[in-house]
Each structure stands twice: as C-alpha cells, then as structure tokens.
Amino acid sequence: MARAQRLNHLRPSGVVLISVLLIVSLLTALVYKLVDRHSLTIAQTQNAFSSDQTIAYAIGGESYARQILKEDFDRSEERMDGLTESWAQPLVPFEVENGGVMEIQIRDLNSCFNLNSLAANDYKAHLTQFKTLLRNLNIPDVIAEKWRDWVDADANIEGFGAEDGEYLLLENGYRTANRRAGHWSELRLLQGMEPEQAALLAPYVCTLPDDGLRLNINTASGTALASLNADLAPGSLDAFMDGDRAYTEVGDLTSQFPALVAAAGALGVTSEYFLVQIRAEQGTSITTIASILHRDPVDGAIRLISRDFGQDFHRRFDPLGEVKG
C-alpha cells in the first residue's frame, strides 16, 4: 500500500519532467531553425550586396571608358583614331574599393564589316563585299544571300537565300528576324551555317545600329579591308597592316592599293562606334557587361546605344595581371 502511494506520488513528477524535456527539445529545434534561417538570410544579403556592388562597379567602368573616349577626342588635334591611342591599349585589371577587381576592354566597331549594311535599301554593293569576305575565308558565299534574307524587311528570297518557309520546316522551327541584327551570333541561325564557320567569321564582323558600312583604315584588319574589292587577293594588305597606322587621309591607303579607290566611300580614318566590355569581381560575385557607345564625330559627345549583361568576357590578363598568351 505504501509502495503504491509512492508510485502515485512520483507519476505526476515524471509526466512534468517528460513535458519539460519535450518543451526544451522543441525550443532547441526552433532556435536552431531560427539561427539557420538567420545565417541563410545573412548569406543571401551578403551575396545580393556583392552582386549589387559588382553591377555598380561595371556601370562605373562604362563611365570610365566614356571618359577615355571623350578625352581622346578632345586631345586629338587631327581627327584620327588608331590602335596606338590610349583607348585601344589593354587596361591591366585594377582594384576598386572593398577588394573588388575590374577589367575594361575597348574595341573599335568601325574596324569590322557591318553585317547590318545588308539591310540597307541599296544593299547590292554590300552583298557583293560580304560574299568576297566569305570567299576569302573559304566559307560558301551563298551565306551572304541567306543573311540578306535574315535582316531584310520582306519575305522575298534573295538568290539562294532562305525565308520563313525554310526555317519553319526545321525540327525546332523559327522565323527569320526581318530586322537589323543585334549581335553577330545570329549568323549561327542561318541555314547551312556551320558553328566553326561562324566562329571563323566572328573577328571580322559586327552589328552596328545603322545600315552603313565604314571601315577605319587605321584599325581594320587586312581581311576586312580586302572584302571591299574582289580583285584584292587575301593577304595582300597584310604588310600594310603590320605597321603602326596613324593615317589622316583615306588616300594614304588608296594610293598604295588603287583597287580600293572605288570603295573609298566605305573607308575612313576615324571611328564612331565602340564596344566597351567590362568584368567586375567582388568576392564570389562577377558581373560582365558589353556596351555599345557612339561618339559624335562633330563634338565628341558619347551616347549609349545598348548595354548587354549576357555576353561572354574573354580576359586578356591572368589573375596576376600578366597578358594571357
């Protein structure tokens, strides 16, 4: 009897102890969950902050490039743009505040063949020139007609070109753009264009926001310039390209290569369009942008044409600041 009374006396105490242990366990789990969420929130906030910082750094890098181009214009006594000028020199990656690192590259877009020139109303000469460029690179020149159909505004087929009817028959069908291209990579969508052919063509072409064609003889490659006349053999301009070019007159080139006289209207010694590529890094966050800038040939005013956060950035320097081979 006495033993039963003692057990009855201890039973409530055991229930209370178990209840306390359950409450402690629940509170421990809750605290752990809160701490875990708090740590995750802090990490997410830090990542977001770092990402915002790299975006801000990249936009700042774009502004810096604008300043370089404007100062180059203001300093130039003679209107000439060449690869020996400060804007064309590789900028070694430099540190910004809070341990960030930034690399900036500026490319002259008047140094390459404007693919959008085939969207012009008077496109015939540009079509012939693009065919010459393709043949010089051992790429079938019918690609030029397919590109004309890609960027023109109508549904009429140019020679051996292709319009919607051909592309919609593909397994994953699509339509032609029928407008100016935004990037050279649209070449990859052309019927019959092989990836390696597009990659071979890429260094010599670009897409400007107009349908004109004007190559700067101080910055353009011999391959791009040779496209202007089929009578120029591939490589015939290489010796001319090897020197430090700082020509102030188109005649400096046409006097040496009379075959280019007829194409003198597509030549110049200054540049208006530039591609600015920036890579900003902060911790594990990286932001890259590619901005197309227009520099007014009269007053040097810089205007932003487009800004792309999705393009690849090919680094010219390794992490130690050495030029990559």
Whether residue 154 is contained in a domain is answered as yes
Whether residue 18 is contained in a domain is answered as no
Whether residue 19 is contained in a domain is answered as no
Query: What is d(CA 186, CA 149) in angstroms, rounded to the nearest whole number?
Result: 12
Residue 41 reports pLDDT greater than 60: no
Q: Are residues 189 and 174 in contact, defined by beta-carbon separation less than 8 angstroms?
A: yes
Whether residue 307 is contained in a domain is answered as no
Residue 2 reports pLDDT greater than 60: no
Residue 35 reports pLDDT greater than 70: no
Q: Are residues 277 and 61 in contact, defined by beta-carbon separation less than 8 angstroms?
A: no
Predicted pLDDT at 189: 95
Q: Total domain count for the chain?
A: 1
Whether residue 69 is contained in a domain is answered as no
Beta-carbon contacts of residue 283 (< 8 Å; ≥ 6 apart): 50, 99
Q: Model confidence over 269-281: pLDDT tens digits?
A: 999 999 999 999 8
Annotate 296-311 with b (16+ C-beta within 10 A) or e (fewer): eeeeeebeeeeeeeee
Q: How far is CA 257 from CA 101, 218, 223, 234, 320, in A?
A: 45, 15, 14, 13, 43
For 308, the token pair is 């792309």
Query: Is residue 100 left, alpha or beta, with left meaning phi > 0 and alpha meaning psi from -120 to 50?
Result: beta
> CA triplet 271, 277, 278: central angle to 5 degrees?
140
Whether residue 262 is contained in a domain is answered as no
Query: How high does pLDDT run on average in the chain?
Result: 86
What integer is the mean pLDDT of 69-75? 92
Residue 49 reports pLDDT greater than 70: no
DSSP of 215-279? EETTTS-HHHHHTT-TTSPTTTTHHHHHS----S-THHHHTT-GGGGGGGGGEESS--EEEEEEE
Residue 321 reports pLDDT greater than 60: no
pTM of the full structure: 0.81
Distance of CA 226 to the CA centre of its chain: 25
For 310, the token pair is 């999705």
Top-confidence residue, 251 or 31:
251
Query: What is d(CA 289, CA 302) in angstroms, rounded to the nearest whole number?
Result: 17
CATH code: domain of residue 186:
1.10.40.60
Residue 311 reports pLDDT greater than 90: no
Whether residue 6 is contained in a domain is answered as no
Q: Model confidence over 202-224: pLDDT tens digits?
A: 999 999 999 999 999 999 999 99
Whether residue 189 is contained in a domain is answered as yes
Residue 259 reports pLDDT greater than 70: yes
Q: How many CB atoms lie within 10 A of CB 93?
A: 18
Q: Domain of 135?
A: 118-203
What integer is the mean pLDDT of 42-69? 77
Predicted pLDDT at 212: 94
Residue 15 reports pLDDT greater than 80: no
Q: Model confidence over 78-125: pLDDT tens digits?
A: 789 999 898 998 888 888 877 788 999 999 999 999 999 999 999 999
What integer is the mean pLDDT of 232-247? 82
Q: Model confidence over 139-190: pLDDT tens digits?
A: 999 999 999 999 999 999 999 999 999 999 998 999 999 999 999 999 999 9
Query: What is d(CA 143, CA 96) in angstroms, rounded to the nearest whole number?
Result: 45
